[in-house]
Amino acid sequence: MTDTTIPPAGEDGAERDQGRSSVAAEGGASMDADRALSLDREHVFHPWSAQAHVNPMVVTRAEGSYVWDGQGRRLLDFTSQLVYTNLGHQHPRVVQAIQRQAATLCTAAPSHATAARSEAARLIASHTPGDLNRIFFTTAGADANEHAIRMARLHTGRPKVLSTYRSYHGGTQLAVNVTGEPRRWPNDTASSGVVHFFGPFLYRSHFHASDEREECDRALAHLSEVIAMEGPGTIAAVMLESIPGTSGIMVPPEGYLRGVRELCDQHGILLIADEVMAGFGRTGRWFAIEHAEDVVPDLLTFAKGVTSGYVPLGGVAISDAVASSFADRPYPGGLTYSGHALACAAAVATIETMEDEDVVGQAARLGEQVIGPGLAKLAEQHPWIGEVRGVGAFWALELVRDPQTREPLAPYGGTSPEMTTLTRGCVSRGLLPFVNFNRLHVVPPLTISADEASSGISILGEALDEARGTAT
Ligand SMILES: Cc1ncc(COP(=O)(O)O)c(C=O)c1O
């Protein structure tokens, strides 16, 4: 998805690690990188990819907001990898917590209680809104969503799930069917009880709306009609990313999530908030749904940032009402690694660090004072930028050929020579960009400094200049 194919080492201006280069000359790190790449090409089967066309960047090390590639080149990480290193790379507190846990107790079966799992659950529940007091641990976001849907179906006794077209909910079978975006297409058997609808997205309004208020009202009227046409009594849940992430970082208009909550309540439908990407501080709140005041979902799924991605962990935060459904009947689901000790120790250290260092406040300030204004200024200078949208450390640039027609710079589900040139221009200047279709997402670690964020935005500007110059 994110094209990180990199230009060869050369006069590209990117900062290099001198120590590594000299080791490389002696056949050390660079040889390791070469071997890593050749073994990868021989034996690793990459996700979402045509295997013969994969050319991955070798990552040899990482620290803070930076990663180093196999050529010793230092890259400012504007991706947080797949939007998960919320504390940056190699945060010493999290690394030490994992090491300490490994020395004490690497693992224990989910049927036992461990200090790491209990404390991780307590800490997560202390930050989730409302009465989401119980945590079911999974190993990632997709299985968290699958279990949330299973819980909703069992709790309501209804089969269907509604979700939006512009969404991503994971790569496992049900999660990819709930997903709206093109990764669903080759996997969708249309037999999973999922119905898709349009969420609000004013820039490309499906409702011919001219302002956020109109978009909100019409998107809610549309959802209300879909519910009526599908039969309210057949719908277990509406699953929504509180702020859709990979599909374009569309912050919902004021009142939309409240309206969805009301529609759900009206019809006995559960609301599942997918906070896998937007949760754990990414948007300047612990969870993105908090931007919509007083909206509490029945189930909230998380992964990624809960451990800064250092050890895989996901989960479902469950309301008291849904949890009570399984007080006397067994919940028919589980995973060998549910609440794995190393992952939970990483979660505890991540959350404690976020609390102690006000990382969530830092993300909010970053958005308000640095990234938001920086990207807005960029948009004034670059006609390709059709819209800047986002919050906290969660931003997208919508790139268009023409601001009037809003024709995307790459087709939906595809790429274009311009987007490829742009990606390469960023990398050659020392910036790792997150690119999806016609969009550039700015999703750095929440701990990135203002100077680092500003220098990354300057690089985006230079790469945009270069790509536009090449194209015209
Ligand atoms: C919103 C959202 N939900 C679910 C997932 C799936 O998570 P995972 O890849 O950990 O299974 C993702 C992954 O990017 C996501 O962004």
Kindly give the distance from the C-alpha atom of residue 311 to the centroid of ligand 1, in angstroms, as a whole number. Answer: 15
E-strand ranges in 251-308 read 270-274, 299-302
pTM of the model: 0.94
Kindly give the distance from the C-alpha atom of residue 152 to the centroid of ligand 1, in angstroms, as a whole number. Answer: 19
Kindly give the distance from the C-alpha atom of residue 167 to the centroid of ligand 1, in angstroms, as a whole number. Answer: 10
Kindly give the distance from the C-alpha atom of residue 168 to the centroid of ligand 1, in angstroms, as a whole number. Answer: 7
Kindly give the distance from the C-alpha atom of residue 143 to the centroid of ligand 1, in angstroms, as a whole number. Answer: 9
Ligand 1 atom having least distance to the Cα of 170? 6
Kindly give the distance from the C-alpha atom of residue 436 to the centroid of ligand 1, in angstroms, as a whole number. Answer: 15
Closest protein CA for atom 16 of ligand 1: 277
Please give the pLDDT value at position 472: 62
Nearest to 322 by CA among 125, 65, 132: 132
Ligand 1 atom having least distance to the Cα of 140? 10
Planar angle of CA 387, 393, 397, nearest 5 degrees: 20
Token duo for residue 276? 């896998």
Please give the pLDDT value at position 1: 43
Instruction: Work out the angle between the directed axes of helices 417-428 and 450-471 (0-180°, nearest 10).
Output: 140
Kindly give the distance from the C-alpha atom of residue 319 to the centroid of ligand 1, in angstroms, as a whole number. Answer: 21
Please give the pLDDT value at position 14: 45
Mutate to test the pocket of ligand 1, among 169, 250, 316 (most ligand atoms within 8 A of CB): 169
Please give the pLDDT value at position 470: 87
Kindly give the distance from the C-alpha atom of residue 213 to the centroid of ligand 1, in angstroms, as a whole number. Answer: 29
Q: Measured between alpha carbons, how far is 168 from 170 in angstroms, rounded to an integer?
A: 6
Residues 186-207 have pLDDT tens digits of 999 888 899 999 999 999 999 9
Please give the pLDDT value at position 12: 41
Please give the pLDDT value at position 26: 41
Mutate to test the pocket of ligand 1, among 83, 174, 277, 283 (most ligand atoms within 8 A of CB): 277
Q: Is 1 buried (19+), middle (13-18) or exposed (0-12) by CB count in 10 A? A: middle
Residues with CB under 6 A from ligand 1: 82, 140-142, 145, 168-170, 241, 245-246, 274, 276-277, 303, 314
Ligand 1 atom having least distance to the Cα of 143? 11
Kindly give the distance from the C-alpha atom of residue 274 to the centroid of ligand 1, in angstroms, as a whole number. Answer: 9
Ligand 1 atom having least distance to the Cα of 82? 14
* DSSP result, 127-194: HSSTTEEEEEEESSHHHHHHHHHHHHHHHH---EEEEESS----SSHHHHHH--SGGGGGG--S-SSE
Mutate to test the pocket of ligand 1, among 164, 282, 304 (most ligand atoms within 8 A of CB): 304
Mutate to test the pocket of ligand 1, among 2, 146, 168 (most ligand atoms within 8 A of CB): 168
**Ranges in the chain, pLDDT < 50:** 1-14, 16-31
With H, G, I as helix, E, B as strand and everything else as coil, classify residue 351.
helix
Nearest to 145 by CA among 98, 190, 192, 191: 192
Planar angle of CA 50, 56, 57, nearest 5 degrees: 165
